[in-house]
Chain A
Amino acid sequence: MHKISANRKRLFTFILLGWVLLLIGDRIGELRQYQGAFVAMYALAIASIILLTGYSGQLSLGHSALMAVGAYAGALSINNLKLNPVIALIVAALVAGIFGLILGIAAARLSGPYLAGTTLALAISLPTIANQFTILGGEQGILFDIGAPPARFGEGFSQYKWFFWISSLAALIMIWMISNLLHSKFGRVFRALRDNQTAAQLAGINIGRQKAVAFGLSAGVAGLAGGLLVMLISGVSPSAFPLSLSFSLLTGAVVTGVYDLKGVMLGGLVLVAIPEIADSIGSRVGGSDGFTMALPGFLVSALLILAVLFLPNGPGKLLKKKM
């Protein structure tokens, strides 16, 4: 009984959230809509990291590459298979998920430094690989055009609002699904994996399979986020998925608490805010081009280190302790 009501409560919370977002989307300007779409996309990507690291104890530095896999798959299915954009986004999630599952089977046997290094290798080498294959459009990349908003939404319905809707809705539904998953038997198994592998094994959990599944699920979520990202920038190219994207996601996850899904929106906000903050600092200080361009990376990394040092369990825990 209790469980059902908890699930229902979660559903209502998400529906309420969606409604609030809808209202907000109607009342803000195009720039904010565009930024809001980015926040939702990043929040989703951070959720994929939290699903993996926070709930199954695996550290991935390669989620930028998994996002890229999803993004290319989505773009190819729009351009070459002429699929409906919404279906293309689902394809993005599925292809990245399958890719992640395969990788996860290898990764499941690794832990700690091996997994971190392998996923880092993936993040660094995948853009270079993508560069070299003509079907992927080389350095220019390929178009990812989600199309104009349907006519029935009226003339005033801008492209940015359309982006905002798709991005928020996709993120909301997906995070709701993850949240349900984590509250199910699956989630308990994941947490058991994270906290004590030996005990989990003794309890009859197939560690390898569960880890691979967690990796696959996380990759699927990341793939969808990748699809959203390239939708927002209208094209997919290797340079959209640099290693620093992986770092940003990790920072977002650590800042919001790797072990807590609730903070992902905050994480998304932080990631969108950092370049803005860097920009305004850059123009105020009037530093060189190098300074302005390197500043976001500096802020992300500094935040990552500070968060690990001072908020190792996320801000939520800290607040709770204070109260």
Chain B
Amino acid sequence: MLQFITAILTSLSAGAIYALMSTALVLVWRSTRVINFAQAGQAVLTTYIGYEVTVRTGSYWYGLIAAIITGALIGATIDRFFMRPIFKRIKSGPIVMIAPVVATLGLLGIIQAIIGFIWGLSYQTLAAPVSTDGYKISGTVIAFSPFNLMVLLSVTITMVLLTVLFQKTNIGLALRASAYSPEIAKLSGIKVDAVRTLGWAIAGAAGGLAGMLYIPNSYLYPNGMDVLLVFGFISAVIGGLDSLFGAVAGAMILGFAINFVATYISYKLVFPTAFVILILVLLVKPGGLFSSSKGRKD
């Protein structure tokens, strides 16, 4: 029973972090029609910045704020000064199909190399602001700590804020309109390019938060969030790639699947499980579990 409850709790807190990554991917996908593979690099770079601030000020919270802000700035900068020129430059020829994806990959490599230049390739540890020791329930220590609880709460709050932003504000309306139909949005007088950059900024901030919440339970190194990128991508695909609700729901499904397999069968099966889920969703319902539309072709 205790094991079952622990599995639920760890699933939730793992799923919460996947949800941040999948949300970041979906935000960029909706506005730009690109899977931003550089997201793993952006997130880990902002986490390094958060780590640096944490070390210098002695406060995780300053680090967290720094990571979120620089995450947003880096995201906006990449869209404005990297992606936009690429789209402008490459308009025709067979390379169009692969150029944006290849560009985000190249960017991922560049960011990870720059991290290596500045901080080296060795593993760093980022101390959590609250205890990472599991709670004790009737004498048994479970695999769910105050920090996991903090992760769960922070992500819940973030998701509520994002929902309010998207559903209740003018900016949110502009973001949604630009995602669904850039042309109609433009013809209505909305500066779609600026709105798109804002989408990248929000995605970057979500990545920064994801890093600061994930790394204390892991290690900080240039490739430290590659795996999270994969889980975020799988979550986004489960959710249909276009839907923010789907991204969160997909992350929870993946979180539960992975953690229950790890708890009850073997941790060795974590990756195979994730991969099988991805392939199954793509084969059975390529449009995602939460979309009514048929499979999407591009």
Contact = CB atoms under 8 A, between A and B. Distances in A.
Given A111-B297, A244-B109, A121 B234 contact: yes
B274 interface: yes
A297 B109 contact: yes
Given A125-B230, A125-B275, A128-B271, A59 B98 contact: yes
A22 interface: no
A293 B241 CA distance: 35
A113 to B, nearest CB: 4
B105 interface: yes
A120 B106 CA distance: 13
Interface residues of B, number: 57
A298 B286 contact: no
A155 interface: no
Contacts of B275: 121-122, 125
B189 interface: no
Interface stretch (B55-63, B87-95, B166-174): B87-95
Range class of the A interface residue count = 35 or more
Interface in A271-323: 287-291, 293-295, 297-298, 300-302, 304-305, 308-309, 312-313
B272 interface: yes
Contacts of A110: 282, 286
B94 A301 contact: no
A160 interface: no
A111 B90 CA distance: 20
Interface in A107-134: 109-114, 116-118, 120-122, 124-126, 128-129, 132-133
A124 B230 contact: yes
A111 B298 contact: yes
B37 interface: yes
A62 to B, nearest CB: 11
Contact of A290 (B98, B99, B116, B283): B116
Contacts of B115: 294
A114 B119 contact: no
Interface string B15-44: 000000000000001000111010000000
A304 B109 contact: yes
B130 interface: no
Contact of A247 (B105, B229, B268, B283): B105
B160 interface: no
A59 B278 contact: no
B12 to A, nearest CB: 23
A121 B110 CA distance: 20
Nearest to B37: A120
Contact of A297 (B37, B90, B101, B113): B113
B271 A125 contact: yes
A72 interface: no
Interface string A236-253: 000000011001001100
Interface stretch (B135-143, B175-183, B203-211, B220-228): B220-228
Contact of B29 (A113, A287, A290, A293): A113
Interface of B: 29, 33-35, 37, 86, 89-90, 93-95, 97-99, 101-103, 105-110, 112-122, 222-223, 226-227, 229-230, 233-234, 237, 241, 268, 271-272, 274-275, 278-279, 282-283, 286, 295, 297-298
Interface of A: 53, 57, 59, 61, 106, 109-114, 116-118, 120-122, 124-126, 128-129, 132-133, 194-195, 243-244, 247, 250-251, 254, 258-259, 287-291, 293-295, 297-298, 300-302, 304-305, 308-309, 312-313
* For the complex of A and B, 3 pairs with smallest distance between CB atoms: A294-B116, A301-B109, A290-B120
23 contacts: A59-B97, A61-B37, A106-B283, A110-B282, A114-B237, A118-B282, A120-B230, A121-B230, A126-B271, A128-B271, A129-B272, A254-B102, A258-B98, A289-B120, A290-B122, A298-B117, A301-B105, A302-B110, A304-B109, A305-B106, A309-B86, A309-B89, A312-B93
